[in-house]
Each structure stands twice: as structure tokens, then as C-alpha cells.
Amino acid sequence: MNLASASRALVSEDFIEDLRAIVGDRLSTGASVCEQHGQDLTYHPAAPPDVVVFATSTEEVSRIVKLCAAANVPVIPYGAGTSLEGHLAALRGGVSIDLSQMNEVVSVNADDMDVIVQAGVTRKQLNQHLHNTGLFFPVDPGADATLGGMVATRASGTNAVRYGTMRENVLALTVVMADGRIVHTGSRARKSSTGYDLTHLMVGSEGTLGVVTEVTLKLHGIAEAISAAVVPFETLEGAVNSVIQTIQCGVPIARIELLDEVQVMASNLYSKTDNPEQPTLFLEFNGSEASVREQTELVRDICDENGGGEFRWSIRHEEREKLWEARHNAAYANMALRPGCKIMVTDACVPISKLATCLLETRRDIDESGMLAPIVGHVGDGNFHLTILLDPEDDNAITRAHALNDRMIRRVLEMGGTCSGEHGVGVGKMEYMEDEHGEGVAVMRQIKQALDPQNIMNPGKILPAR
Amino acid sequence: MNLASASRALVSEDFIEDLRAIVGDRLSTGASVCEQHGQDLTYHPAAPPDVVVFATSTEEVSRIVKLCAAANVPVIPYGAGTSLEGHLAALRGGVSIDLSQMNEVVSVNADDMDVIVQAGVTRKQLNQHLHNTGLFFPVDPGADATLGGMVATRASGTNAVRYGTMRENVLALTVVMADGRIVHTGSRARKSSTGYDLTHLMVGSEGTLGVVTEVTLKLHGIAEAISAAVVPFETLEGAVNSVIQTIQCGVPIARIELLDEVQVMASNLYSKTDNPEQPTLFLEFNGSEASVREQTELVRDICDENGGGEFRWSIRHEEREKLWEARHNAAYANMALRPGCKIMVTDACVPISKLATCLLETRRDIDESGMLAPIVGHVGDGNFHLTILLDPEDDNAITRAHALNDRMIRRVLEMGGTCSGEHGVGVGKMEYMEDEHGEGVAVMRQIKQALDPQNIMNPGKILPAR
């Protein structure tokens, strides 16, 4: 299925030659490369770009975008291809700018606890690079995404409850705007009150306002003591209530992740773990020895009161790595449950006081739907996902999955929440933008119109057609 | 001195009558009310609006702004009048919308640790309202500003090193746009990836994009243990280096404030305290008993190594209140040093590794200038202020003060910092916007043009005339 049949931009031979004059051999019009660059990890239909270029510098990206602007050709930035809402589909064709070769860590400023990276550096690569500095970068979506891509989707992950999301951890950006201008937003100062917050405008803009080429990030000190645990519960309700009470008690927990019994089963199979197939929390405590002890005791009491079982501890670094690797691979584990199936990943986020109701009603909907949809969640933030497994050839399955997601999103919005906690809008959530933001969507359109009047930057994403 | 002589908008009798139809008696054209609403706490010249209206609801603000838009009359939002960069000057006349009567705490959601307030609620009023909830709102500029005003300037204060600034603590806003539309940005969910971050675009926009009428804020739990201390140092360098080492060690200190010996002297006089007239740190530790003990020991060792004297502790609530009240009143204490003088408050913020050099070189400039300019700073953020005392009738003094500030700002920008950590641009920092943001200023202009094409929202602020 290819959405890009209508109203494609005209990418001429001359245009390709002009591109080649900028990037040389780092260009492909091959079907498989284009196909791969127009799809993500999910059921969203692929829409290949006309051409893929592999950029190596901000200046090069600027020249490419200027060329596209002059020819009115769409630009779709590409990082690791791990997004989940159809962000990469080249709906009107155009140029996919692959930034994966811009993968240099430009400078580590340990004294200021910040780092400057090119947009193609991945989160794992960055943390490997920081090895031995005593510092780490906490934001960790499941996939090994690029930091540019994580800026684009305003990503978060398991550490957000303690360390914040990309929103809280980006200090400054280099961005190529829709006309090819290079703009530097923000600074390495920890705070500033000078003018409009262009950094935060770009974080979460999904390539629709510009191409992020360089990112300055906050780093955090690795805690003196770290311990992680897995704790199974008799009921999903008990697990969720333990999370809510932990947050409401103000425990500075580093990670508190929920997996329902279906997700535990899938993860056991994929990651060769042997956790009891029950609703389960994965926990991590960071701090001084004394602080970790205090936090642990408090959370153990809370879990006990809510029907939690025995804590299975991972103290050693390697054990913890294995535990969190299993959590990070949840989406891949689910895909492996039914080979050939595609996934639709939902992304509800509600105020924590609404989490139990929202999650339990949603679980009831899943059970009634008869669909296979493991639940996993960054529940400390009020955020959880269903991974709905779909036969992509079965239109009925897609319809039923949409209905399940739609029902959940209506619930979430009524509760004052958001239809995407961390994955972004892409094409998948566009239909809910008016419901969530009302008149705010008109303001977003005014900004898009002002900064990308030709609508060449990742067109067809975030803002629904009128 | 009145900057507003040229190019004033035409505010007719009919227009005033139309305003009166909306707000009734809550309107004044009296000279003293207008004069008061066109000035702030500093040397910046006043520029009175033509009329002041006291709004009581978002809908009313919307109607007022629609009227102004139709008549092309400027709108200047007014909170507590405590800003520092000429933000309130009605440079082209127009309507000052005073929001101080919109001072209702709309709802406290203790379970979700958030609160919804009208824009006219002040920070002290909010914390009094939260009394007995176990929660508090941390952002604390010196003055008892309104929360709407604090949104407008992206304010911070003494707690920012631990709890963040307004940037990190605003979840959602209600904003009346330049055409009178009412827009709700953000939500009570702790994170979201749905579309452009309009909340952060409005935070720090200084009334130039819209009028903030309602604010949803994060709250924080009051720590189990809190202790505060004052510690004098032999040298300014020793005090600054203690701060840098504390931050670099990752101590989760709640407050770490620097006062030079001139500021201590001024504060002693004004607040009737008796701290030794030496470079001094005001510290506060929050956490569990064990954590506070750990933090204290570490910081005491660091201060000892840098020539710090004895810690003078404030354990009881009332003692701590007195200590921080003295700190918050630093600007007033400085004004009292030379009655009749006005103040110019500078606002450098640099990466922490540059703080010692920046501060010590600046102190040398002060000494060479012969001006009276106490130094105070939220040094954990790399942010410090000079309060330069000025005879407003002495043009030469203003010129010398500008030269001192200018030299410091050049230094700050070379170090990768910002010319305003927390006060905003207003008219006072406009001339540095291009130097700090380069091409970013053009992007800001595009956004301003898109959202306020008539340029009626607080005109003449943030963006320098071309």
C-alpha cells in the first residue's frame, strides 16, 4: 500500500544531479533504500521518498534544503527509522535526509554536565561514549533511536519520572529551517529569559519546522548506589495502585515500569527471562546508599499493601542491564509473538490520579475486543502503551484496533490527558489534534505557515488537512 | 521622562466608552494610576498607558483584546508591576490590562501535585493557600510577583537549582491571543508529544504574543527535613568555587545563593540581620533526615577547603523564613542604600565552569568603575546580578552603568551564556538579542508577525526595531 500516489512533487533528473553535486555518492534512488526510508516500525503504510541523501554536515543539510525549497520538493529527516506514528512516510515524495552519518559526539563538557552531539548519534552510542565520565544521558525510548529523532518526537522512556523527557533535557539546538537558514537556539547556560523559546518549539516538531542537525543535552551524574527489582502482583489494580502511591509519597524513584501478564509472557519468550506471568513492576532506585535504602523500604511497604509478591533484585550492573534490555525490547518481543503481524502502539498519558481507572477500563476493552494487546507503561508519568498486534492484510483487524485505540483516547482526553505521551503525532494521531488542543491547532497552523510557507518540511504530519 | 510621545495610538472617547461597556467602573484614565502602570522597579523610564482596566475573567480579557485589535490599540498586561527591564512601559500608549483582581486559586489537585490559578495570584498567596497540603510552589523571584507575570518573564529564583524555573514548572496555560481568541495550551498530563509546544512558546514571551489569564503549575512535596545555613568566606573566589564544586559533585542542594560583602552590608541594614560583612553563601538542604545529613557534610567539607567560616544554622521554620526574606528583599535593600536612587539590575547567566572567571572579572570592573553595585546570585544556576545604583537625573551615571553592564554581557556571551537568566528582555536587553541569538531573532520575528500581525501586544519589547 502506497499513500504517495497522488500529488507527488516533481523530482526531475536535473534536481537529482543538483543534489549529487552536494552529496556526491551519498545518494540513492534505489527502490529498497527508498522503501526502507519511508516506513517505521509499525502498521503505518510505507510511502517511499524519491531519493535518499546521506548528509554529513549542517552546511550540507542547509544546501540540500535550499535546493528543495527552490524546487518545492518535500524534505523528510530520517534518523534510525524507529518512530511509531508514520512520521517517515514521504506522502508527497521528495527527499529523505538520512542523518545517521552525522554521528559524532562533538564535545563532552563534564564540568557543566552537558554534551554536544550531531543529530545522528544514538542514545546507546552516547552512553557508551560517556563511559568513565561518571555521567549519563537518561532519556531512553525502547529503540536505539538517534538523538535528533528523539528531539523531533519529544521522546521519553523509563527514566523520565526522575530525570525528565527530551523537553527537560535539551539545552540548545542547531536547526536548518525550511529556507535553508541555519539557526542556533538556546545556549549552554542552564536557564535563560531572552526571547521566544525556539528550542522548545523545535522539540516535538517532528521535522515539520526544520531539520535538527546538532543537539546540546543535559547530562546527569550516575548515582552512587543503584538497585533494580522486579515485583509481581496478584492483580493489575494492585500494581497500578502501588505506582500511584509511590509517586504521591514523593519517592524519587528512578524507574517504575508496568508490564501486564501478557507483556511479561512476551518478554520472557523474547529476552529469555523467567519472570512470573503476572502483572509486574520493574523498579529502579538511584541515590546514595542511605537514600536507596530509604526508598526501597517505603516502596516495599507500599507494594506489600497492594498484593505485591517477593522482590527479585538486580544489584550488579550486568543483571540490571539485562533487566532493562528486556524492558526496552518490549515492542520487538511483541512483534515476535506473531511473526508477519504489524503493530499499532497506543500512547495514553493521564494525570496520575486517573491512571488506575484509565488503565483498568482499557484492559477491560482489550479483553472484550479479543485482540492481542500487551500493556506496558512508564506508569510513574501516567503513561502506558498497548501494542496491538495486527495482520496488515486484514482490514477488519485494523478497524477493530482503531476502535480500541479511539475508545481509549476519548477516555484519556476526558480525563485531562494527552493522546501521545512520547511517540508524537505523525499521521497516526492527527485526527485527535482538534479534540486535544481546540483553537491551539489554529495557532500551530499559523506558526507552520510562517516558518514553512511552502509546506515542504515533512508535509502531512501533525496538522490535519482542513 | 516619557518615551511615549511619538506615534501613540489614538485612544478615543468612544473607545473608552466601549471599554467601559465591558468592565464598568473597573477602568481608570487617571494620571497617577496610568503612571504607576507604565513603570517597573528600575531606572527604566515610565511610559504610561492611556487607560488601565482591571479584568476579572478570561472572557473579559478576550473582549478587551478584541476591541483593541479592532481599533489597533496596544495591549500591555500588568501583574504586580515588579519586572525589571521596562516591560510595562506603554511605548505607544494603549490599554494596560491589570490582572491583579484575577487572583483566585481555581483548583488544587494534591493527588496529581498540580494547581490551577488565575494569572493574578501571587507566589506568596499561592504558597499560603497550599498551607497544610504538604505541597509548595518553588519558583520565587525576589518580589511577590504574580504567577502570570512570572510566566511572562520565564522567572526563576532561589530554588531553581533544585526545582527548576517557570520553564520546568508550567504544565498548561490559558492565553488570550492578539485577536482575542482564547487558547488552552498543554494539559495536566506530566508529558505530551502532541504538536508544537505552545506552552513553552508563551512562557517567556513577555506579553508580546498574548495575555496569560490562567496557569497550571507543578507542585512539589515539602521535604521531610529542611535546614538552612549562612556561611561567610574569606574571599569571593572561595565562595564561588564552593558553589561550583557543590554542583559538580551532584549534591541535590535546594538553594545556594551568593551575596558579596556589599550586598551583605545592604541586607543587614534593611533586614536587621547581623551577618559578617564578607562574601557569603546562603544554603538550604532539603530531603530525608539522612539525605540532608549527607548533603550537609559534603558541602561543609567543600566550604572548609575554600576558606569558608563557621556555618550559622537556621533549623526552625521562622528562622529560615527570616533568612530567605532577607535574600528576597535584596533589591529593596539596595534601593534603600541611597534613597532617591534608581536601580539597574543586570542578569548574567553562564555555564557553571565559567562562573568564577565571569564573576571575578566583573567584580574587578565594578571596583574600577567606582560605582555602588552589590552582587547577588543564584549561583547554582550560573546566574548572578549586579544592582547598580543610579541617580536617575545623572546621565553620566546611566552611561557608566550601561558601560559596566555592556562589558559584562560581552563577556557572558563569549562564554556561551545568556544576557538574561531570569528577568527577560523587555526594552533593556533588546540591543543584545542579535548578538545572543543571531538568525534566531529573525525566526522570532516571523512568529511575532504570524501571531500578532498588527503588533499590538506589548509593542517595542523583546524584538529590536529593524
- Say whether pLDDT at B2 is over 70: no
- Residues A110, A58 within the same domain: no
Read off the pLDDT of each residue in B395-421 and give the average, rounded to a whole number. 97
pLDDT at A7: 65
For residue A466, is it within any domain? Answer: no
Query: Which residues make Cβ contacts (< 8 Å) with residue A446, sequence separation at least 6?
Result: B450, B451
Which secondary-structure segment (H or E) carries B286? strand B280-287
Residues 43-82 of A with CB under 8 A from B: none
Strand locations in A219-288 (E): 220-221, 225-232, 255-259, 280-287
Q: Write out chain A's pLDDT in tens, 466 residues.
A: 334 444 676 799 999 999 999 999 999 999 999 999 999 889 999 999 999 999 999 999 999 999 999 999 999 999 999 999 999 999 999 999 999 999 999 999 999 999 999 999 999 999 999 999 999 999 999 999 999 999 999 999 999 999 999 999 999 999 999 999 999 999 999 999 999 999 999 999 999 999 999 999 999 999 999 999 999 999 999 999 999 999 988 899 999 999 999 999 999 999 999 999 999 999 999 999 989 999 999 999 999 999 999 999 998 999 999 999 999 999 999 999 999 999 999 999 999 999 999 999 999 999 999 999 999 999 999 999 999 999 988 989 999 999 999 999 999 999 999 999 999 999 999 999 999 999 999 999 999 999 999 999 999 999 998 7
- Residues A380, A404 within the same domain: yes
Domain end position, chosen among A296, A331, A366: A331
- Residue A202 to residue A151: CA distance in whole angstroms: 8
Amino acid occupying residue B132:
N
Task: Return the bridge partners of B177, or none.
Answer: B210
- Residue B238 to residue A214: CA distance in whole angstroms: 36
Residues 80-119 of B with CB under 8 A from A: 109, 111-114
- Residues A254, A326 within the same domain: yes
- Residue B434 to residue B438: CA distance in whole angstroms: 5
Task: Render B365-376 in DSSP notation, one character per residue.
Answer: HHHHHT----EE
Indicate yes or no: pTM above 0.95: yes
pLDDT at B7: 65
- Grid cell 526508598 is found at A295
Whether residue B195 and residue A288 make contact (CB cut-off 8 A), yes or no, is no
Instruction: Compute the nearest-CA separation of A360 from chain B (Å).
Output: 18
**What crossing angle do the helices spanning A261-271 and A330-337 adopt, rounded to 10°?**
90
- Residues B130, B185 within the same domain: yes
Q: At CA B326, angle to CA B324 and CA B330, rounded to 5?
A: 115
Task: Return the bridge partners of B146, or none.
Answer: B122
- Residues A185, A265 within the same domain: no
Query: Which residues make Cβ contacts (< 8 Å) with residue A203, sequence separation at least 6?
Result: A151, A154, A166, A167, A170, A173, B197
CATH number at residue B148: 3.30.465.10
pLDDT at B393: 87
Computed on alpha carbons and rounded to an integer, the radius of gyration of chain B in Å comes to 22
Residues of A whose CB is below 8 A from B253 = none
Instruction: Compute the nearest-CA separation of A191 from chain B (Å).
Output: 6
- Say whether pLDDT at B10 is over 90: no
Whether residue B436 and residue A194 make contact (CB cut-off 8 A), yes or no, is yes
- Residues A205, A280 within the same domain: no
Interface check for B288 against chain A (CB to CB < 8 A): the answer is: yes
Number of A/B CB contacts below 8 angstroms equals: 272
Residues of B whose CB is below 8 A from A381 = 190-191
ipTM for the predicted complex comes to 0.96
Whether residue A446 and residue B441 make contact (CB cut-off 8 A), yes or no, is no
C-alpha cell at B357: 572567571
Read off the pLDDT of each residue in B281-289 and give the average, rounded to a whole number. 95
For residue A42, is it within any domain? Answer: yes
- Residues A345, A427 within the same domain: yes
Whether residue A197 and residue B167 make contact (CB cut-off 8 A), yes or no, is yes
CATH number at residue B38: 3.30.43.10
Task: Render B121-179 in DSSP notation, one character per residue.
Answer: -BHHHHHHHHTTTTEE-----SS--BHHHHHHHT---TTHHHH--HHHHEEEEEEEETT
CATH number at residue A285: 3.30.70.2190
Whether residue B195 and residue A463 make contact (CB cut-off 8 A), yes or no, is yes
Interface check for A437 against chain B (CB to CB < 8 A): the answer is: yes
pLDDT at B465: 86
Interface check for A453 against chain B (CB to CB < 8 A): the answer is: no
CATH number at residue B320: 3.40.462.10
For residue B410, is it within any domain? Answer: yes
Interface check for A340 against chain B (CB to CB < 8 A): the answer is: no
Residue whose C-alpha is closest to residue A245's, from A296, A327, A305, A198: A305
- Residues B134, B257 within the same domain: no
Instruction: Compute the nearest-CA separation of A409 from chain B (Å).
Output: 13
Domain end position, chosen among B98, B124, B159: B98
For residue B161, is it within any domain? Answer: yes
Instruction: Compute the nearest-CA separation of B185 from chain A (Å).
Output: 6
Smallest Cβ distance to B291: which of A291, A382, A449? Answer: A291
Whether residue B177 and residue A438 make contact (CB cut-off 8 A), yes or no, is no
For residue B455, is it within any domain? Answer: no
CA count, 13 A, side-chain hemisphere, A96: 29
Domain end position, chosen among A315, A331, A347: A331
Residues of B whose CB is below 8 A from A292 = none
- Say whether pLDDT at B6 is over 60: no
- Grid cell 522548545 is found at A200
Read off the pLDDT of each residue in B107-127 and give the average, rounded to a whole number. 97
Interface check for A294 against chain B (CB to CB < 8 A): the answer is: yes
pLDDT at B315: 83
Read off the pLDDT of each residue in B118-137 and give the average, rounded to a whole number. 97
- Residue A371 to residue A386: CA distance in whole angstroms: 11
Give the pLDDT band (50/70/90) at residue B11: very high
- Residues A142, A66 within the same domain: no
- Residue B209 to residue B205: CA distance in whole angstroms: 6
CA distances from A188 to A44, A95, A108, A271, B190 (A): 38, 32, 12, 39, 25
Smallest Cβ distance to A418: which of B111, B189, B446? Answer: B189
For residue A428, is it within any domain? Answer: yes
- Residue B196 to residue A199: CA distance in whole angstroms: 11
To probe the interface with B, which of A192, A200, A219, A295 has the most B CB atoms within 10 Å?
A192
Whether residue B447 and residue A451 make contact (CB cut-off 8 A), yes or no, is yes
Task: Return the bridge partners of A383, or none.
Answer: A349, A378
- Residues A386, A366 within the same domain: yes
Interface check for A284 against chain B (CB to CB < 8 A): the answer is: no
For residue A461, is it within any domain? Answer: no
Dihedral pair phi/psi, residue A77, rounded to 5°: -70, 145
pLDDT (tens digit per residue) in B334-388: 999 999 999 999 999 999 999 999 999 999 999 999 999 999 999 999 999 999 9
Amino acid occupying residue A351:
P
Question: In terms of CA atoms, which chain A residue is nearest residue B221?
Answer: A250
Domain assignment of residue B364, given as a range: 224-434
- Grid cell 500608549 is found at B93
- Residues B92, B133 within the same domain: no
- Residues B271, B357 within the same domain: yes
Domain count, chain A: 4
For residue A447, is it within any domain? Answer: no
Give the pLDDT band (50/70/90) at residue B41: confident
pLDDT at A2: 38
Interface check for A23 against chain B (CB to CB < 8 A): the answer is: no
- Say whether pLDDT at B104 is over 60: yes
- The DSSP symbol for B465 reads P
pLDDT at B216: 98
Whether residue A184 and residue B440 make contact (CB cut-off 8 A), yes or no, is yes
pLDDT at A5: 43
Taken as a whole, chain B contains a residue count of 466
